[in-house]
Amino acid sequence: MYSSQIKTATVAACFSVTAQEIIAQLIESGAQVVGYGRVGDELRAKDLENKYNGKLTVLLGDLTDEETCRAFVAKSLDILGGSIDAHYHCAGIFLWSTWEDAEPKDIERLFSVNFTTAWMLGREIFSAMKQKEAGSIMYVSARDTIRNVSYGFGPYMASKRALNGLVESQAAEGVQYGIKVNAVLPTIIDTEVNRKGMPDIDHNEWVNPSQFASLMIELTQPAKTNLTGALIPVQGKML
């Protein structure tokens, strides 16, 4: 573990595999962390908080709700001593579907999780960082958003391309305030869910979650002063 300059951080979708790797590595480096999850995960939240003995607080609520996001960030600032050095937005869902077959509720859910949570919570994080004129926001998009979209990936990639647009434009808005906004664009991340969902694909070429988390933390270090507005592809087999 390298020496991190990040002392306070927030992590959205804190029960996801990538988010839990980020939380573990940040806390190991000495950071205080606030995680965000969904209502209904109270037991998991308590277990996760107990695991880190006061270094992690988990808040539960709807990240597509404006008032909830505003309250989350206000409470996070109280917990973290008034500033957020870095935010990691790991919320996301995947759906394989053609545009012809996709139900309106499917499109709504894809954009709600993959884009709206990022915009709604991200703007509150941005406003908090603006007061300190410093901070870094890292989103998770998808590598194939910068390639031709394959059959069956249209709705999913459309929601992630909307996220890419948020990253680039929010970065432009943040330059004068010292706020860096970027996104990592991974291929398939090696998780148990993905292995079960794609049993016939060679997972040895997938992105290792621990290495992926380390990269995200490294890219959000305060020393990365000129890195903003970047859409950073992350290939499999990270060694």
Q: How confident is the model at residue 236 (pLDDT cuts 50, 70, 90)?
A: confident
What six digits make up the tokens of 95? 């759906």
CATH topology of domain 8-234: Rossmann fold (3.40.50)
Alpha carbons 152 and 163: distance in angstroms, whole number:
19
Q: Tokens 């592809």 — which residue?
A: 233
CA distance 58 to 221: 23
Residues 90 and 36: beta-carbon distance below 8 Å:
no
The reported pTM is 0.94
Which residue carries 């991190």 as its tokens? 4
Count of CB atoms situated within 10 Å of the CB of 99: 10
Write the pLDDT tens digit of every residue in 174-228: 999 999 999 999 988 866 666 666 666 766 678 889 999 999 999 999 999 899 9
What is the C-alpha to C-alpha distance for residues 141 and 26, in angstroms, rounded to an integer?
Answer: 21
